[in-house]
Amino acid sequence: QLSSEELQVSKNKLLGQYALGKQTNSQIAQILGWYEILGLGMEFDAKFQENLTMVTTAEAQEVASKYFIEPYISIVGPEEN
């Protein structure tokens, strides 16, 4: 079960990393251009941060249970004969 505190730590980390990715004019232009290419518009920058802060523990838990179902392991290397 995800606690409110754990969710807040995750939100803070994501928002911090997001801000660090927009420190120069070049980085900002790249991000805003990418949003335009995706059809999200430049206003998505503010919406993303706003929407992230509104995520609830129930929503995060629902998404996690949908996508993190079973653990898998992959082994890479030559096949033994």
DSSP code of residue 81: -
Say how far apart CA 47 and CA 53 lie, in whole Å. Answer: 10
**Kind and range of the H or E run holding 58:** helix 57-67
Q: List pLDDT tens digits, range 19-72.
A: 999 999 999 999 999 999 999 998 999 999 999 999 999 999 999 999 888 777
Sketch the domain layout of the chain as residue ranges. 4-67
Specify the pLDDT at position 56.
97
- Give the confidence band of 75 by pLDDT, cuts at 50, 70, 90: confident
